[in-house]
């Protein structure tokens, strides 16, 4: 699914980075109220990795298992 096709209520998996390292994250497009839709983290994978490539591996598996699309960050 191209990023421009995402609609409020849709979910997808990607990767992000924080103080704990790189990790997979399930995102959803929150419909919002007064300010319109916004992307919001819903859940994360279990691993924290030193490299983005390692997080991508988990994100692709996570997306496949959950039936969502993996969209690269």
Domains of the chain: total: 1
The number of residues making up the chain comes to 73
- Mean pLDDT, contiguous 10-residue spans, the chain (73 residues): 83 97 97 89 97 98 97 92
Strand order in the sheet with 11-18: 38-44, 21-30, 11-18, 69-70
Domain that holds residue 47: 3-70
Q: Where are the beta strands (DSSP E) in the chain?
A: 11-18, 21-30, 38-44, 69-70
> pTM of the predicted model, to two decimals?
0.90
């Amino acid at each position: 699914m191209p990023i421009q096709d995402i609609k409020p209520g849709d979910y997808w998996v990607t990767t992000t980075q924080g103080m704990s390292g790189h990790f997979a994250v399930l995102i959803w497009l929150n419909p919002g109220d007064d300010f319109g839709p916004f992307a919001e983290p819903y859940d994360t994978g279990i691993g924290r990795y030193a490299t983005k490539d390692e997080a991508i591996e988990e994100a692709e598996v996570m997306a496949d298992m959950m039936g969502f699309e993996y969209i690269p960050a």
